Amino acid sequence: MSVPKEATAAIITGVDQKPEISRVEIPKLEPHAMLAEIQTATLCGTDIHLWHSAGKSMPYIPGHESCGIIVSKEGNHLDVLGESVEIGDRVIWAYPFCGECYYCTVANQPTMCPNALRFGREPVGVYPHLLGGCATHQYVPPRSSVIKVPDGVPSELAASASCALRTIMHGFERLGRVPAHETAVIQGTGPVGLYALAVAKSRGFKRVLSIGAPTSRVAVANEWGADATLNMDEVPERKDRVKWVMDQTGGIGADVVIQCAGSMAVSEGIDMVRAGGRYLSIGEGGTNKDIEITPRAMSVKMLNIIGVRSGAGRHFYEALQFLKYGKFPFGDLITGTYQLDNIADAFAGMKSMSEVKAAITPNG
Ligand SMILES: [Zn+2]
Ligand SMILES: [Zn+2]
C-alpha cells in the first residue's frame, strides 16, 4: 500500500476555535510501530470537553476513537491474540501503557499508567505527531494493544468500541457478578448510556431501567429493550426521579445504578441505589464541582462505589465481540457522517447534542 509523505489532519489550535485542516509530516516509524489509514474516527463528549479546555496541549489533532487499515509497519507487532498484524488488516488500538510503572505491573491497573500517551489530545508538534483520529493517517505506537476488527462490524462502530464500549466492558468487569434477581438503573441515554443498556440487558439483570433525555434518545432506549424509561425533560425534579426508581423497585431502590450521564448525575444516582447496592460511575464529563455525600451513604447504607477509567486490550476485544454478536441495532448511535473538510459541523452537532455520535471519514 502506498504511504504519502504527509497526512491531512484537522487541528485544534485554540479553545473553541474551528478545527483547521493542515498537512502534517508522516513520521518515521519506531521499531514495532505501525501506520494506519483511518477508515472512520468517531467523536464523543470528551472531544468536546477537550476542545473547550485543553489549552496546554494545543495545537493537537482531535479524535481518540479510530478504526484504520494498517498501511505500513516497522518490524512485527502482535495483536491481543498473539497473531501478527499485517498490512491491510483493519484494526483498533489502545493507548500505549508503559508496562513498567507501579500501575502497569504491581497493581495490574494499566489504565492508570501515568506514562501513557492519550490519543486526540497530544501536541501535534511533538513526535510522532499523528496521534489523533481526525486525520488521513494515525500512528500506532509500539506498545499499543491492537485488536483486529471482525468482518461484519462497520468501521464507525469499531471506532466507537475503542472508547465508550471498552470503558463499559471494563466497568462491568469491576462490577462483578450479576445475580438474576437484580435491577439496574442506567443514568443517561447518550452513546455510553445506550451501550451500557445493551450490555446490562445481556448480563442477566431482571430489569434494566433507563433515565435520560431528549425524547429522541429515550426512544432509542425503549427500542433497545429498556424495561422502563424516564424522560428527564418530562420529569425535571430530582426528587421525582428518585421516587420513580423507588416505585419501580418496590420501594427499596436499584441493586445497581450505572452513571453514564456525567458527574452532575452522581449525587442523584447514589440516592437511587438500595442499601447495600452498587454504584458504577462511568461518565466523566460535566462539572468539577464537589458533591455532598452523607456519611450514611457510605457506611450505614453499605454502599459500594465503583469508578472506572478507560480500558485495556482485553476490554477492546470484548467490545468488538459484543458488536459482532450482540443483537442490538448499534447503527442507531451513528447519526451523522462528515468528511474532514466539514469537521467543524461535526463538532457543532456534538456540542448541540443534535448528533448522538458523529463519524469522520478522513479518506472520503
Ligand atoms: Zn505504566
Ligand atoms: Zn470517546
Span 71-89, pLDDT tens digits:
999 999 999 999 999 999 9
* 269 grid coordinates: 444516582
The Cα 148–Cα 177 span in angstroms is: 28
The CA 145 to ligand 1 mean position distance, Å, reads 13
11 and 113 inside one domain: yes
296 and 215 inside one domain: yes
For residues 65 and 129, the answer to whether their CB atoms sit within 8 Å is no
Span 94-103, pLDDT tens digits:
999 999 999 9
The CA 105 to ligand 1 mean position distance, Å, reads 7
Query: Across-strand partners of 305?
Result: 279
Ligand nearest the Cα atom of residue 65: 2
42 and 103 inside one domain: yes
The CA 63 to ligand 2 mean position distance, Å, reads 8
What is the predicted pLDDT for the residue at 42? 97
The CA 109 to ligand 1 mean position distance, Å, reads 9
Span 250-289, pLDDT tens digits:
999 999 999 999 888 999 999 999 999 999 999 887 767 7
Ligand nearest the Cα atom of residue 97: 1
CA distances from 185 to 164, 191, 241, 245, 300 (A): 18, 16, 11, 8, 22
The Cα 265–Cα 269 span in angstroms is: 6
Q: Are strands 146-148 and 137-140 parallel, antiparallel or unpaired?
A: unpaired
Answer yes or no: is 154 within a domain.
no
Ligand nearest the Cα atom of residue 283: 2
Residue 201 has pLDDT above 70, yes or no: yes
What is the predicted pLDDT for the residue at 287? 67
* 3 grid coordinates: 504511504
**Which residue is it, cell 461518565?**
283
15 and 144 inside one domain: yes
Answer yes or no: is 312 within a domain.
no
**Which residue is it, cell 500512528?**
139
Span 293-319, pLDDT tens digits:
777 777 888 999 999 999 999 999 999
Residues whose beta carbons lie less than 5 angstroms from ion ligand 2? 44, 46, 163
Domain of residue 261, residue span: 176-307
The CA 7 to ligand 1 mean position distance, Å, reads 29
Residue 45 has pLDDT above 90, yes or no: no
**Which residue is it, cell 452522581?**
266
What is the predicted pLDDT for the residue at 215? 92
Answer yes or no: is 354 within a domain.
yes
Ligand nearest the Cα atom of residue 312: 1
Using only C-alpha atoms, the chain has a radius of gyration, in whole angstroms, of 20
190 and 284 inside one domain: yes
The pLDDT-based confidence of 54 (bands split at 50, 70, 90) is low
The CA 116 to ligand 1 mean position distance, Å, reads 7
The CA 248 to ligand 2 mean position distance, Å, reads 32
Mean pLDDT of the region 53-59: 78
The pLDDT-based confidence of 56 (bands split at 50, 70, 90) is low
The Cα 45–Cα 160 span in angstroms is: 12
Ligand nearest the Cα atom of residue 62: 2
Ligand nearest the Cα atom of residue 102: 1
288 and 340 inside one domain: no
The Cα 155–Cα 138 span in angstroms is: 15
184 and 298 inside one domain: yes
Ligand nearest the Cα atom of residue 115: 1
Helix pair 191-202, 215-223: axis angle to 10 deg: 20
Span 107-138, pLDDT tens digits:
999 999 999 999 999 999 999 999 999 999 99
The CA 164 to ligand 2 mean position distance, Å, reads 6
Answer yes or no: is 94 within a domain.
yes
CATH classification at residue 54: 3.90.180.10
The Cα 314–Cα 108 span in angstroms is: 13
The CA 56 to ligand 1 mean position distance, Å, reads 22
Half-sphere exposure of 154 (CA within 13 A, CB side): 15
Answer yes or no: is 212 within a domain.
yes
Residue 55 has pLDDT above 70, yes or no: no
Span 133-170, pLDDT tens digits:
999 999 999 999 999 999 999 999 999 999 999 999 99
The CA 132 to ligand 2 mean position distance, Å, reads 12
Strand, helix or coil at 72? strand
106 and 184 inside one domain: no
Mean pLDDT of the region 213-219: 92
Q: Going by C-beta distance under 8 Å and a sequence separation of 6 or more, which residues neighbour residue 258?
A: 171, 184, 185, 186, 187, 196, 200, 280, 282
Q: Are strands 66-73 and 34-42 parallel, antiparallel or unpaired?
A: antiparallel
352 and 294 inside one domain: no
Answer yes or no: is 105 within a domain.
yes
The CA 112 to ligand 1 mean position distance, Å, reads 7
Domains contained in the chain, number:
2
Q: Going by C-beta distance under 8 Å and a sequence separation of 6 or more, which residues neighbour residue 272?
A: 185, 187, 241, 242, 245, 246, 253, 254, 257
Answer yes or no: is 57 within a domain.
yes
36 and 72 inside one domain: yes
Ligand nearest the Cα atom of residue 48: 2
The CA 191 to ligand 2 mean position distance, Å, reads 10
Residues 329-361 as b or e (16 or more Cβ within 10 Å = b): ebebbbbbebebeebeebbebbbeeebbbbbbe
Q: What percent of the chain has pLDDT over 70?
A: 98
Question: What does pTM read for this prediction?
Answer: 0.95
22 and 114 inside one domain: yes
- Please give the mean pLDDT across all residues of the chain: 95
Q: Which helix (H) or strand (E) holds 38?
A: strand 34-42
Half-sphere exposure of 116 (CA within 13 A, CB side): 23
199 and 100 inside one domain: no
For residues 266 and 259, the answer to whether their CB atoms sit within 8 Å is yes
The CA 256 to ligand 2 mean position distance, Å, reads 24
Residue 197 has pLDDT above 80, yes or no: yes
Mean pLDDT of the region 29-42: 98
Answer yes or no: is 163 within a domain.
no
CATH classification at residue 242: 3.40.50.720
Ligand nearest the Cα atom of residue 50: 2
